[in-house]
Structure formats: structure tokens, C-alpha cells
Amino acid sequence: MTAETIVTPADCEVAPQGVRCMVMRGGTSKGAYFVANELPKDPDERDSLLARIMGSPDPRQIDGIGGAHPLTSKVAVVSLSTDPGADVDYLFLQVGVDDGLVSNRQNCGNLLAAVGQFALERGLTSASGPQARVRIRMLNAGSSDTGVTVTGSVATATFPLDGDGPVYEGETAISGVPGTAAEVRLDFEDIAGSACGALLPTGGITNVIDGVEVTCVDNGMPTVVLRATDLGIAGDEEPGTLEANTPFRERLESLRLQAGEMMNLGNVSTTTVPKMTLVSLPRADGDICTRTFIPHRCHDAIGVLGAVSVATALRIPGGTGAELLRPGAEPDLVSIEHPTGIFVARVEIGDGHNGPAVGHAGIIRTARKLFDGLVFPPSAALPRTPH
Ligand code: NQM
């Protein structure tokens, strides 16, 4: 048995006293939250440290605090904003479970749901009264290697407060999370084209790739929307059933690689965007049924900005799968069925100079502080687990 060891210069530089870290549930994801200046400044050093903290690369992340799934192997890095129009800056980093790669190429609207509370907990911003409103600039924008330049957009998080800080207890339930917690409202500004440079980055409402019609959209998350039946599935299968269907997954990945090039994302073979959302007729009380690949695992629910992007594609006249929406659905709301329930996204679409334009977009989440303390990463990179 051989094990390949990834060694970087940062491997010897871990403070033996630990690294300050808060673990929070944001929406249907869970992640480690850090203040930016408590991590190494150098991105390579920072990423090496974060991979070790999460326990990657290892399918079980047994030597770290990651949860062995993309939805629980996430990091939020928060700092005072350098933009006078925002309170704090939020950088999302996805830590690859199996490969240990740390990527800033996508945003995460679920971890975003706890950024406001984290910023108050760490004294990065302040608020008083019954509610906090924290303006969060989202730093994950277009990647420099594709030539697309996109500026960070802003989300406002609104959540309850008491004299001691954020209130986490509450009566709001969201699908995919047991019990209830305090409501966090997220309102988005200027998220269209967040990573691809345009709401419809291919220039068209639909495209045909290998005979399959798709809508490629980026309203906060680069996403490809396609009809489940066009890929020979019903669309309401369990995630595990779809993940086990190798020919289907190979076809989906081939479409994704081609769509990535068309969406200005370049070669997406090692990136987590675009996401792939298969749509079909609603089965429960929603307007549309979905299964989303993020992009290799099937999501147990649907991402926040992913849901906003899917709702946008379906609300654009002629968008792929728009005809599958439940007749009579409310114009600005889309109730998206997913494997563990329903996600309601509000998106207003109007006419812009060059086609459809997005007005307000917003969603409701909950978030909770789970743990606050010090995390102790190993000082050397983990050997890659042999497969
Ligand atoms: O789309 C999963 C999640 C996400 C991302 C993913 C997210 C979003 O459920 O904004 O929240 O698509 O990787 O946390």
C-alpha cells in the first residue's frame, strides 16, 4: 500500500495553541467560521491549514472536523468590509472531502445565513434593537483564470437580537433541518452573473448540448437546468439511486463539462460549478420537482443561490422546464421540491435592455451556533487515502 503525501511549506507553521474557530449550521449546510486575520494571509498557506482542519483528503475526514460530505466540508472566512457599502466581507471556501482541494470558485448561500450572527459574535460589527441587519459583501466572484471580472455582490441578513447578541432559538422550520430556529432573512443585490459575468452567460435562453435542451443561468450560482426525462430519469428518485446510476452520471458530467466552457467558466473538471439541476413535474405541494448535482453528489435538498438561479431560469419565458411549473403558481415565488422538502425562492424578473433582468431576490433560512473554541490541526498534511 502506498500513500502520496502532499507537503507544502505551510505544513510546519501551525500554532500549537490551536486556531480560533466557530462551527455553525447555516441553512442546510454546516461549516467552520473564521475571522480572516486569524488565518494565514497567504492563500496557499491558509488553504493547506483549512484542509488539515477539516481532515481532508480522506473520505471520512476522520482526523478533522469536516462531516465527510460536501455540505459539511465548508468554510466561511469573515472580515471587516473594505467596502463602505457593506459591514463585513465573506469569502466561502469549499474543502474537497476526497481530494483536499480548497476552492473559492463558488459561493454558498447556506453558510451565508450564519455570517451576520458570526460577525456580531466576534465583534466585527454591532447592532441594537430587536433585529440586526448586517450587510455582507460576498467575495466569491469570477475566477481570474477565465478572464471574467465580476465584483462582489451584497446580501443583507436580517435576524433577531436580544441584549446579549443574536437569538438562535425560534419558531421557523426549514426543510432538511429537524426542529425550528430563529428566522434569518437574506435579501440579495446584484447577484446576476456572479461568476459567469451575465445572467444568461451563453447569450441565449436555451442551448442544445448533445441533443439535450438546457438553460444555463447564473443568478448567484452558475447552474444548468435540464429536464429529468431528457436524461431518461423520472426526476423524483432518491439521491442515492441517482448517484448509483453510472451511465446517467457520466452523461450528466459530459453535459456539465461542455456547459462550463459555454458559460465562461473554462475547464470545470475540477471545480464545483456549474451545478446541474434536473427538473420535472411537481409531485407534492410545490411548483416544480428538482434533483441537483453539486456537481458529483446529489444534494439532499438544494443550495440557496442554486435555488434562486433555478427559480430564475424557470421564470424566464422559454426557459428549459418552464412549462413544467404548476399552473397558477404565484408569479414571483417558486416553491422548489427537493429530496427532503420544499424551498421557496422569491425572484422578480423584468425586461432589461438586453433581455430578462432580475429585480429583487430573497429567501428565508435559519442558522445556529454549534460550537466555539480552538481547533487543533495536524502539523503535517494528511497522506492521501489510497482508494
Ligand atoms: O447554492 C451546495 C448548499 C450549497 C450551496 C452546493 C448553496 C448555494 O446547499 O447558495 O448554499 O451547491 O454546493 O450549501
Q: Read off the pLDDT of residues 51-71 as tens digits, 9 standing for 90 and up.
A: 999 999 999 999 999 999 999
What is the C-alpha separation between 286 and 281, in angstroms, rounded? 9
Q: Looking at domain 207-358, does it have CATH number 3.30.70.2080?
A: no
Q: What would the pLDDT profile of 39-49 be if each residue is shown by its tens digit?
A: 999 999 999 99
Compute the distance from residue 363 Cα to the ligand 1 centre, in Å.
13
What are the two backbone dihedrals, phi and then psi, of residue 34, each rounded to the nearest 5 degrees? -130, 150
pLDDT at 175 over 90: yes
Confidence of residue 31 (pLDDT cuts 50, 70, 90): very high
Q: Is 327 exposed, middle or buried (0-12, 13-18, 19+ CB in 10 A)?
A: exposed
Q: CB neighbours of 103 closer than 8 A, spacing ≥ 6?
A: 93, 94, 96, 271, 272
Whose CA is closest to 254, among 269, 272, 266, 244?
269
Between 51-55, 147-151, 170-174, the lowest mean confidence (pLDDT) is in: 147-151
Which ligand 1 atom is at minimum distance from the Cα of 302? 9
pLDDT at 159 over 90: yes
What is the C-alpha separation between 329 and 344, in angstroms, rounded? 12
Residues of the chain with CATH 3.10.310.10: 9-195+367-375, 207-358
Compute the distance from residue 198 Cα to the ligand 1 centre, in Å.
20
Q: What was the pLDDT predicted at 228? A: 98
Whose CA is closest to 98, among 137, 128, 136, 54?
54
Q: How far is CA 129 from CA 116, 121, 181, 369, in A?
A: 15, 16, 19, 20
Compute the distance from residue 110 Cα to the ligand 1 centre, in Å.
6
pLDDT at 2 over 80: no
pLDDT at 383 over 80: no
Q: How is residue 337 annotated by DSSP? A: E
Domain covering 9-195+367-375, topology: Diaminopimelate Epimerase; Chain A, domain 1 (3.10.310)
Percentage of the chain modeled with pLDDT above 70: 92
Pocket test for ligand 1, best of 194, 221, 308, 343 (most atoms within 8 A of CB): 221
Which ligand 1 atom is at minimum distance from the Cα of 301? 9
- Give alpha helix (H) positions in the chain: 43-54, 109-112, 115-121, 239-243, 246-262, 304-315
Which ligand 1 atom is at minimum distance from the Cα of 292? 12
Which ligand 1 atom is at minimum distance from the Cα of 27? 14
- Higher pLDDT residue, 234 or 382? 234
pTM exceeds 0.85, yes or no? yes
What is the C-alpha separation between 139 and 154, in angstroms, rounded? 9
Which ligand 1 atom is at minimum distance from the Cα of 107? 10
Computed over every residue of the chain, the mean pLDDT equals: 92
Pocket test for ligand 1, best of 97, 110, 343 (most atoms within 8 A of CB): 110
Per the document, the length of the chain is: 387
- Higher pLDDT residue, 264 or 149? 264
Q: What would the pLDDT profile of 272-299 be if each residue is shown by its tens digit?
A: 999 999 999 999 999 999 999 999 999 9
Chain centroid, CA 324 distance in Å? 25
Percentage of the chain modeled with pLDDT above 90: 84
Are the CB atoms for 210 and 155 separated by under 8 Å? Answer: no
- Higher pLDDT residue, 196 or 148? 196
Q: What would the pLDDT profile of 68-103 be if each residue is shown by its tens digit?
A: 999 999 999 999 999 999 999 999 999 999 999 999
Ligand 1 atom 3, closest CA: 303
The residues lining ligand 1, judged by C-beta closer than 6 Å to any ligand atom, are 28-29, 70-71, 107-110, 221, 272, 275, 294, 303-306
Helix (H) or strand (E) holding 336: strand 333-338
Ligand 1 atom 4, closest CA: 303
Q: What was the pLDDT predicted at 288? A: 98
What is the C-alpha separation between 363 and 346, in angstroms, rounded? 6
